[in-house]
Amino acid sequence: MDSAFEVMVASGEKLQAAGKCLQVPIKVQGTTIVADFYLLPLPGYDAVLGINWLKSLGPIV
């Protein structure tokens, strides 16, 4: 896990991340996805899949 750093979230707010977990496998609707996760203080959210995850899907028509 990395040391603390700032992450800008969708609202434009900058949050202090406690670290980053690399290559975490998660299962979404029967499909396993491997993603990196930042540890952020976001009450009410277990996980947020961002633009890096979306890009990993490739073009979807």
pLDDT above 60: residue 51: yes
The candidate with the shortest Cα–Cα distance to 10, out of 39, 42, 35, 33, is 42
- What element of type H or E holds 54? helix 51-56
Tokens 């750093």 sit on residue: 5
What integer pLDDT is reported at residue 13 of this predicted model?
92
The pLDDT assigned to 24 comes to: 93
Q: Taking the complete model, does pTM exceed 0.95, yes or no?
A: no
pLDDT, tens digit (0-9, with 9 covering 90-100), for 21-46: 999 999 888 888 888 888 999 999 88
